[in-house]
Amino acid sequence: MVACRPRPLPLAPHHFPVPVRVVSLRCSLRMRRISLREWFSIHGLLAGRASLILRKPERTLRLLPLSLSRGGMRVKCFQGFENRTSVIYLDDGNYLNEWIFSGGGSDVGQPGPLTRQKYLAHPSSSLAAYWPRIIYQGTSGEIREINYNCSSKTQCYYDKALSTTQARNGTQLLVLPAKSDLTSTAVFYQEQDGRFLEYREDGTGITTVLQNPAFSNLIPLDAPVAGFSTIRPTDAQNPNLNLYLLWQDSNNVIQLSYTDDTNVWKGPNTDPAFAGANNNTALSCLSGTTFPGFPQQRTTVLARCYFQTGMALREVTFNGNMWNITGVVPLNF
């Protein structure tokens, strides 16, 4: 993995709540956006490009491009779409802001259309996203979704409340594709009583709120949470995806709950690859890209997760059957 010189984002005047949530898009307007956690976070795409965002003590952000050339992954971009990186964050007034770096454009970047639409979040809100959806917590604590659809010259994002139960203020948020071609998504959040629930929504508008013994009553309050989806190795044509939910227990052990070729959640269990995780580590994962008309590909079954151990940032990979320690991400800044 190649470490490049990071460039500062022009966001220093703004307040970045902890945990900070940032969303990034690379390679194509239709590529996946990955959510981040804490001041030390990872985002990117399984498309040969990724970035690491560092939140420094003085509240500035640093964008560090990384190489994803290892692991036999194939670079896949989509012709005819503008390459861009989009960073989404909350400002001092708790409004969602967007800063865009276009391919071949200025390193300084420019405000994106989301900034103009003045969506107001709860002061404790975190952010989560899977392109083209952004999930956040509204001013009354409700879970809301912003969907990107730039068919209008005056508006590119559309907002609605999701039919979830009442979430605790400041809940961790995660959104994953539940079906290939993005006809169903899963949103994870924590209720006021501490239960961690899964909200499912399909393309017909049917919604369901689910709990299960694999994680609902096990995840501590404010625990780091991340996840990813893959095709089912034993049935690649099945539109249902395998879901993997990573979280840190009260003993600082990173646990894994998963569906594993069925629609039933299993686990939790851990793996030696996650040994030595810091207490309240930043935790983030990458997974394959899917959107309407583009099912998730077999070449994207390799998923990557990142967490802190000591003073290092460890990268681990999952090939559908087992976890491996890829190594430590070099940080030169």
List per-residue pLDDT tens for the chain, 333 residues long.
Answer: 222 223 334 433 333 333 334 444 332 322 223 333 333 344 433 333 456 665 655 555 666 665 554 433 344 445 555 667 778 888 889 999 988 877 666 667 888 889 999 999 999 999 998 888 999 999 999 999 999 888 777 788 999 999 999 999 999 999 999 998 889 999 999 999 999 999 998 878 889 999 999 999 999 999 999 999 988 877 878 889 999 999 999 999 999 999 987 889 999 999 999 999 999 998 989 877 888 777 887 755 568 899 999 989 899 999 888 999 999 988 765
Rounded to whole angstroms, how far apart are CA atoms 122 and 86? 22
In this prediction, residue 50 carries a pLDDT of: 55
114: enclosing H helix or E strand: helix 113-116
| Closest by Cα among 260, 235, 231 to 245 | 260
Compute φ and ψ for 326, nearest 5 degrees.
Answer: -75, -40
Decide if 265 contacts 214 (C-beta within 8 A): yes
Rounded to whole angstroms, how far apart are CA atoms 330 and 181? 34
**Domains detected in the chain:** 7-328 (2.120.10.70)
Decide if 276 contacts 239 (C-beta within 8 A): no
Q: Which residues, at least 6 apart from 167, have a Cβ–Cβ distance to it below 8 Å?
A: 137, 141, 142, 143, 189, 190, 191, 192
The CB-side HSE value for 273 (13 A sphere, CA atoms) comes to: 21
